[in-house]
A and B are shown apart, each in its own frame.
Chain A
Amino acid sequence: MVSVKEKPPLIVDGKRIDGRRPDELRPIRIELGVLKNADGSALVEYGNTKVLAAVYGPREVLPKHIAMTDRAVIRCRYRMLSFSAEERKSPAPSRREIELSKVIREALEPAVMTELYPRTTIDIFIEVLNADGGTRTAGVTAAALALADAGIPMRDLVAGVAVGKVDGVLVLDINEIEDMYGEADMPVAAMPGLNKITLLQLNGVLTPEEFRQALSMALMGIRKIYELQKEALRKKYASTTEE
């Protein structure tokens, strides 16, 4: 699938391939309420990674037998659009997408107060419009915003970011090239207000010391994203006040 290219130097003079410092996030853009039909929606960009999330609900569960009597059912679908990657991605749900849907759902479930809406469902759709590394963490960030935009009570917002190791250096918010040629990739999602981690994966090899350092880097990045999330939610209503 991936064309075989020479591995480029990923760290030059302490700067990364896109000119960032190792502990620097890509520029983040957040837009809320972009979809009219959805109860809540958000568009999140981490650099060139662009993810759209839509939330519907709480609504009637169909098929009825999956409803739970004590809480709402959360259904989540993560999908990469055919044109999101450099080479066309087959639109059929892949093994990877099905797994990520589950992982993202489990990252969001602790935040949503599902017990308030028994016998209902909350449907989350995450569509990756453009993939440049870190789509699952951008997906979690976007989905949490869409849930908040839909007015669903949440224990805290969830934000995510990935940490990687490239050329022996730990770097925050890795992009596609760093992921492809790097030694490790560790996506993390957390609820910073409650100090709880909801998603932690690791692909590759880190020493225990590197792991600890990578985790604290990720949590630092998550805190920054969390503030941006809150600011975006506040801005949506502040702008209508001025009208």
Chain B
Amino acid sequence: MASSSHVVYVQNRSIIVPGDIVAYGDVEIATPNYLQRIEDGRVMATVTGLIDIQQVNDRIRLSVIPLKGRYIPKEGDIVIGIVTDIGITAWFLDIRAPFPGVLNATDYLGRPFNPATDNLRKYLDVGDVVIAKVAQFDRTRDPILTVQDKGLGKVVEGSLIEIEPCRVPRVIGKRRSMINMLMELTRCNIVVGNNGRILLKCPNPEIEAVAILAIKKIEAEAHTSGLTERIREFIIEEKIRRGLMNHGVS
């Protein structure tokens, strides 16, 4: 490879804002929506976010983790939707995206559906919460949802909270480290939707309050490092304070 000429003007993990020149020359851009090339080879940021600089095979790879933004569906995403409207053969779900999620009756029931003899309202009514997966989405049509997979379907119990969709990756953590730690320490069952809705099933309301506080803390501090350890300490502290755990006894 020819010696690549490039300069990176910012430090790894620093905050960038639209209009910031982050680099010059031969660099790889992993998030083309958030970094643009302008004339004479400079690379400019388009959103407020954290810059991630990585060295991949002799080349610098730049990516941006945005700090705010609406949820845009992606095929394969797990989303938690709320039924807002009932059609003849499909439900329409609010998935916090600019488009309604379409859940077809045949998909939900797993069998053919005849609107002449059957009524959708019997199965899901307005306000019901559904965990679903985005099956199809190509920006020319509204996203099609499916519940034909493990862990998907109507939600009958638990608490629902909402966070910024772009901070979901921090709640899950690298190789699910954060979410596993949360579930282990609180003994709650937590389902995180990519659209920023989180479903909690906890053994008691006290520990649920701790889990919610922890998730809100992750959301507020999503752009800082060393977060998993800080959250672990926070949960233990809260549990001791609320008498849910004794000192020194695990």
Interface residues of A (CB under 8 A from B): 39-40, 57-60, 69, 113, 116-121, 148-157, 191-194, 226, 230, 233-234, 236-238, 240-241, 243
Contacts and interface: CB of A to CB of B under 8 A. Distances in A.
Given A60-B98, A151-B70, A233 B139 contact: no
B10 to A, nearest CB: 12
B17 A149 contact: no
A117 B98 contact: yes
26 contacts: A39-B68, A60-B98, A60-B99, A117-B72, A119-B99, A119-B139, A120-B99, A148-B18, A148-B48, A150-B69, A151-B67, A151-B166, A152-B69, A153-B18, A153-B33, A153-B46, A155-B36, A155-B46, A156-B44, A193-B19, A230-B19, A233-B18, A236-B48, A237-B15, A241-B223, A241-B224
A39 B35 CA distance: 21
A149 B99 contact: no
Interface in B65-120: 66-70, 72, 98-100
B47 interface: yes
Contacts of B221: 240-241, 243
A150 B46 contact: no
B240 interface: no
B139 A237 contact: no
B224 to A, nearest CB: 6
Interface residues of B, number: 30
Given A117-B98, A150-B68, 14 more contacts: A39-B70, A57-B70, A119-B98, A119-B139, A153-B18, A153-B34, A153-B46, A156-B18, A191-B19, A192-B19, A230-B19, A237-B67, A240-B221, A243-B220
B20 to A, nearest CB: 7
B14 to A, nearest CB: 9
| 5 cross-chain pairs, A with B, having the tightest CB-CB distances, nearest first | A151-B69, A151-B68, A120-B98, A153-B46, A233-B17
A191 B67 CA distance: 22
Contact of A59 (B66, B98, B220, B223): B98
Given A119-B139, A149-B68, A150-B68, A194 B38 contact: yes
Chain B contact residues: helix, strand, loop or mixed: loop
A68 to B, nearest CB: 12
B194 to A, nearest CB: 16
Given A148-B18, A230-B20, A153 B70 contact: no
A117 B98 CA distance: 9
A135 to B, nearest CB: 23
A40 B44 contact: no
A83 B99 CA distance: 38
B21 interface: yes
A28 to B, nearest CB: 17
B18 A154 contact: yes
A156 B38 CA distance: 11
B140 interface: yes
A193 B221 CA distance: 30
Contacts of A226: 19
Q: Which of B19, B99, B224: most chain A CB closer than 10 A?
A: B19
B38 A151 contact: no
A154 B47 contact: yes
B44 A193 contact: yes
Contacts of B19: 154, 156-157, 191-193, 226, 230
Contacts of A193: 19, 21, 38, 44
Contacts of B48: 148-149, 151, 233, 236-237
A233 B46 CA distance: 12
Nearest to A195: B39
B70 A59 contact: yes
B100 A60 contact: yes
